[in-house]
Amino acid sequence: MNVPFLDLKAQQRTVKAEVMPLWEEILDSAAFVGGKHICGFEEEFAQACRALHCVAVANGTVALQFIFEALGLKPGDEVIVPVNTFIATSEAVSAAGGKPVFVDVLPDTYNIDPAKLESAITPKTRGITAVHLYGQPADMDSVAAVAGEFGLWVVEDAAQAHLAEYKGRRAGSMGIAAGFSFYPVKNLGACGDAGAVTTNDPDLAEMLRKLRDHGSAKKYYHDLEGYNGRCAAIQAAALRVKLKYLPQWNEKRRQHARRYMDLLEDVPEVVLPGVREDCTPIWHLFVVQIDNRDCVQQSLAEKGVATALHYPVPLHLQRAYAHMNLAEGAFPVAEAYARRLLSLPMYAELNDDQIDYVCQCLEEAVRK
């Protein structure tokens, strides 16, 4: 049996009949930038996230960058970032003129460790970025408590957490703002690059709209230097269709995660992800820890099971951040985890037979 890590074609087949007429309408009207599909998606996604405002942008990275710029980040300002995340989280800080400061993560959920925050705060610290990694929200109350004590804002990196919940609150509604990615592999994926910011602050939303459109609230009248960071109408149209199916797709992922957990709970060689009782993850990824990871991954590949690594090198050990002079050992939890992580197939269209086969092959591989 062959089990792909992700099957994007399967999802597209389910929505193609609804998406294509909308794209034809956009082609016929030549309304490629802005228009009713952008406005419609912004309204619908804000409502889905239980936020007051949504600003659609070109991708998830600029979503975060625009947030930091709209918050007034200046050169030398610091933003705390978990060291176990995709580089977009930290490079958005740098692109906005700030400096990312890394902290270690929790050993079970792999999200930012609130106990490590205070020691990373300096007089230059402006805020904290809480990444909802793999689709499970960070401990937002604990992060917010530290932020409040030191007068900092909290930004959510919700790129992997569309409709995930923490204590009944949706990702995208808890920080001062949240950045979302709709890269095609995400639970809510566009047919190319797209992103969005959600916020409950109307002034921040207005600044974000200016930043995405050359600093302009009215065509040819520019209040500041901004960017070309707009979302394409064809992406917004596709996202509007997919958003209707997102709750059921997320529920399928939760069912798959429960099956993985049930089948692997008696395999001590496999460390399963921790799940907070007060969270409802959406399982963008299902990541386990194992010894001899590379050998196990090769064994699975030989049996037709595709896997992936998220993320094999913590940010402080990336060449891009060599100038920080952070040696191995600086963040032991993330480093230990990075050597042992393995992402198993996870997408809504998986079936039970495929998951059973993945677990059978994994158990055989780890016990060799």
Residues 121-153 have pLDDT tens digits of 999 999 999 999 999 999 999 999 999 999 999
Tell me what pLDDT residue 368 has. 85
Considering its fold, how many domains does the chain have in total?
Answer: 2
Residue 185, domain member (yes or no): yes
Sheet holding 165-166, edge to edge: 169-170, 165-166, 279-280
Mean per-residue pLDDT of the chain = 98
Residue 324, domain member (yes or no): yes
Same domain, yes or no, for 228 and 332?
A: no
Same domain, yes or no, for 182 and 307?
A: no
**Residue 141 near residue 167, CB atoms below 8 Å:** yes
Domain boundary (240, 272, 292) is at: 240
Q: What is the pLDDT of residues 195-212, one digit of tens each?
A: 999 999 999 999 999 999
Q: How confident is the model at residue 46 (pLDDT cuts 50, 70, 90)?
A: very high
Residue 144, domain member (yes or no): yes
Same domain, yes or no, for 68 and 154?
A: yes
Same domain, yes or no, for 119 and 168?
A: yes
Residue 1, domain member (yes or no): no
Same domain, yes or no, for 229 and 325?
A: no
pTM exceeds cut of 0.95: yes
Q: Average pLDDT, stretch 88-96?
A: 98
Its domain, for residue 212, covers: 8-240
Q: Average pLDDT, stretch 283-310?
A: 98
Q: How far is CA 24 from CA 29, 62, 174, 345, in A?
A: 9, 28, 37, 34
Per cent of the chain over pLDDT 90 is: 100
Domain boundary (209, 240, 271) is at: 240
Same domain, yes or no, for 229 and 266?
A: no
Same domain, yes or no, for 233 and 260?
A: no
Q: What is the pLDDT of residues 219-263, one digit of tens each?
A: 999 999 999 999 999 999 999 999 999 999 999 999 999 999 999
Same domain, yes or no, for 16 and 158?
A: yes
Whether the pLDDT of residue 350 is over 90: the answer is: yes
Same domain, yes or no, for 211 and 141?
A: yes
Q: Average pLDDT, stretch 252-277?
A: 98
Domain boundary (191, 217, 240) is at: 240
Whether the pLDDT of residue 168 is over 90: the answer is: yes
Same domain, yes or no, for 186 and 262?
A: no
Q: How far apart are the first and last CA of the chain?
A: 20
The domain that contains 180 carries what CATH number?
3.40.640.10
Residue 121, domain member (yes or no): yes
